[in-house]
Amino acid sequence: MLIFKIFRADEWSALRADGQTAGAPIDVADGYVHFSTAEQAAETASKHFAGEDNLFLLCLEAAPLGDDLKWEVSRGGAEFPHLYRELRLSDVAWAQPLPLVDGTHQFPAGVGL
């Protein structure tokens, strides 16, 4: 199963430079890295990144994360994937810009449904 992380450009740049990260400030504060499923990603973008440009969408395969990935109830009673270790660049299957067009983030096909 694929899971997704939205990073600001500087956060993505830091991950590429350092090879690992504790995540965005909210991740550091909460003690885990927040992810979304394909179905949750658009709502995550609109709730936490409304009007923000210069974002990147990172895609990871959930299975290799093993027991470090926990599914926990969050927004609206839905289960969200949370990573209880640093996110490594080697975990990322792909990353691409998440453009903001007319106030709406434009997700790739199959994500943000």
| Structure confidence at residue 72 (pLDDT) | 96
Q: pLDDT digit string (tens) for 55-81?
A: 999 999 999 999 999 999 987 889 999
Q: 77 to each of 29, 39, 73, how far by Cα in Å?
A: 21, 14, 5
DSSP run (H or E) holding 82: strand 79-83
pLDDT over 70 (residue 113): no
Residue 45 in any domain: the answer is yes
Residue 61 in any domain: the answer is yes
| Domain total in the chain | 1
**CATH number of domain containing 29:** 3.20.170.20
Q: pLDDT digit string (tens) for 12-33?
A: 999 999 999 999 999 999 999 9
Give the percent of the chain with pLDDT over 90.
91
24: domain range? 2-99
> Model's pTM, two decimal places?
0.94
